Amino acid sequence: METQPLTLSVIIPCYNEKPTIAEIIRRVKAVGRATEIIVVDDGSQDGTRDILKTFENDPIVRVIFHSHNQGKGAAVRTGFAAATGDIVLIQDADLEYDPRDYPSLLRPIEEGIAKVVYGSRFRGGPTKAMFFWNMVANRMLTLLTNILYNTILTDMETCYKVFRREIVQQIPLRARGFEFEPEITAKVLKRGHRIYEVPISYNGREWEEGKKIRWHDAPRAAWTLLRYRFVD
């Protein structure tokens, strides 16, 4: 007896992504897996909102506007609350991550092997060379995650985090900024959900192209990992 395919909600948080927002939506749609694409504009001021308004009649694109900038974590939380698909996937609004990796990311959940899947930039996929110190910070935060939560992740800070919807909608999330990544990881692991990793491609953008994460986000991420090890 055939079963219905699982539906997919793609959450795209965005802030001042005028050069790339239309293209990333096009790429997500081209893969043909998304049942709904939920774009959460986090108070953009560069014309992104005007572009998003052109999708108001699109049958699978839903746009939610924050009145002011609140942070990536707040935008993702808004997307989670609005999602209706069986699976929820986070997609950054830039072009660093390739939606053509969706089949690999979805397969462990579709096959019942896992309820949470992360796409790892360090498991052998084609990758543009990262900034050295960004890589060092990522590896240190991932190591801290592994020590604190008894796991063996290779890329805690990856954008590509994929969940069964009931998992994320049952977890209380508070992060407003980039500390969302360690918070969701900590709380998923504390609830006993083992994270399945698959290799993905990565085409990191340059600072002048709008890369937003900065050095001061690393100490905040480390504190978040430590905090949620002992409190919920």
Alpha helices for 32-71 (secondary structure H): 48-53
Give the DSSP letter of residue 21: H
The answer to whether the predicted template modeling score (pTM) of the entire model surpasses 0.75 is yes
For residue 77, the model assigns a pLDDT of: 96
Domains and CATH numbers, the chain: 8-230 (3.90.550.10)
How far apart are alpha carbons 94 and 99 in whole angstroms?
Answer: 11
Backbone conformation region of residue 7, classed left if phi is above 0, alpha if psi is from -120 to 50, else beta: beta
Q: How many CA within 13 A on the CB side of residue 47?
A: 4
Tell me which DSSP letter residue 202 carries: B
Task: Give the pLDDT of the chain (232 residues) as one tens digit per residue.
Answer: 446 789 999 999 999 999 999 999 999 999 999 999 999 999 999 999 999 999 999 999 999 999 999 999 999 999 999 999 999 999 999 999 999 999 999 999 999 999 999 999 998 876 766 667 778 888 999 999 999 999 999 999 999 999 999 999 999 999 988 899 999 999 999 999 999 999 999 987 554 544 555 556 788 999 999 999 998 7
What backbone phi and psi angles, to 5 degrees, belong to 134? -65, -40
